[in-house]
A and B are shown apart, each in its own frame.
Chain A
Amino acid sequence: MGSRSSHAARIPDVDSIRRETGFSQASLLRLYHRFRALDWNEKGYLSRVDLQQIGALAVNPLGDRIIDSFFPDGSLHLDFPGFVRVLARFRPVDDEDNRNRDPKEPEPLNSRMNKLRFAFQLYDLDRDGKISRQEMLQVLRLMVGVQVTEEQLESIADRTVQEADEDGDGAVSFLEFAKSLEKMNIEQKMSIRILK
């Protein structure tokens, strides 16, 4: 453990990151320390392997998919701004965000829609904007492993797609997905609070 400076000034581009993600200075500091702790050999960025080393993540059935969401478009290196940008989606929504928001500015990263989009992309592997029956099956298979038979899984997948699918194209688009979850308290379920 070397002497690590705690000053926020050491984080590159800290102000622009703050504006973009909405994290407080203290939270950013904690995440920065976490980033550096995950970066074993101090490369300055994270690779897939670094995230795969996290034991508790490796036993999560969706672990690989979650890691993929940190490396969009096939990139291999994850720098700190990229790291925080993804984590920003899980920032709890507070009323301040909505009050002071300038409607001309882009949606904040932790808005309800963006949280839904994050979950959606865990289902939608090929990023075509729709969850096909096949993709639904794949995710289900990941979550249950070998415990459930193929027939049972298929019937579950069929039923789920049918219920959510409104325009009858056999797949669930993002809007259909959002509609089927409109009563859900997404803001609370997809939020992680960082201690002060």
Chain B
Amino acid sequence: MLQCIFLLSDSGEVMLEKQLTGHRVDRSICSWYWDYAISQGDQLAPVIASPTHYLFQVVREGVTFLACTQVEMPPLMGIEFLCRVADVLTDYLGGLNEDLIKDNFVIVYEILDEMIDNGFPLITEPNILREMIAPPNIVSKVLSVVTGNSSNVSETLPGAAASCVPWRTSDRKYTKNEVYVDLVEEMDAVTNREGILIKCQIYGEVQVNSHLSGLPDLTLTFVNPNILDDVRFHPCVRFRPWESHQILSFIPPDGQFKLMSYRVKKLKSTPIYVKPQLTSDSGICRLSVLVGVRNDPGKTIDSVTVQFQLPPCVVSADLTSNCGTFNILTNKSCTWSIGRIPKDKAPSLSGTLVLENGLEHLHVFPTFQVGFRIMGIALSGLQIDKLDLKNLPNRPYKGFRALTRAGQFEVRS
């Protein structure tokens, strides 16, 4: 099991050290790690064997979460746990960076104390942690000024520690009961050099934000659940109703949570197309990129961007676009922000690249990464049928939304 957790800043400084077992891990492991990380560059793997310990490392927003162990253990457990710590801290501190952690290190210690004991993960459910340790939000800061009491530890033990539904307390009360269900989909697509769509799939999540009193029992049904390829559930979802009728039946945790994630494979097309063309001759390369709507989803496509990295052998670039803004940074990474695709003209980017001396043709080609966003539709076609609520004193407000955006959408040239 894990023996120690360190939090390192982006300069390798130890911001926090949490020893978990009797076998103390010396801090010097961090400097070993840091030197090793620098020598490995971007090839650094998440699981490393140091001369004395096995290390798990997860880097989020410049903060390195480093865990050490000396015994055999499931690697995914270490990695998942560190990811969870990062998520919980981001949630608590309203972001994640060196200053936030240094300003709130007492809270970070408190959280770690509840999340893991003697090297074994305990409570990682954010809703429950919130009840044990109050987050350092503005309200409590104001309160502390007014009342002079800045204790961020709640005086009571969370009810969930004793409740039969481990992710929820039974005594929540809201004057206004509301529940929101969001379908958020990301499209991953790869178009190869010949312009053929070789991979196109959707990864989607059903996100629920629930503010409901008591112990409500919810049922969510879809119009077309059979299109889902593989699903994963929040622990609150009952498995049998899904297995037999594809119905999501659950008692929700309080607040925001991810009810379910799914995959839809083998989609046939993307909503927009991006067609790059590169021709090179005697040291000059002509580049043109065309963007347009392929299949109109019936809703506005916005936030369209195209990003790419010019190869190192390009000395200079002269590119202009007829639409949106185009930026090129000194490290030769280019960003073309189109925004909304206009109705009357097809956006295009064109110009010339000058290759370095002695190079006739371009042999290394950039990959174009495409971004877009469509509000109001789930591109997989998944539709919510209805949401039923039981065990509630009065009629709650129900809200539904859908959103699709580009995930890893890349076009090779």
Do A and B actually bind? no
B-side residues, CB < 8 A to A, are: none
A-side residues, CB < 8 A to B, are: none
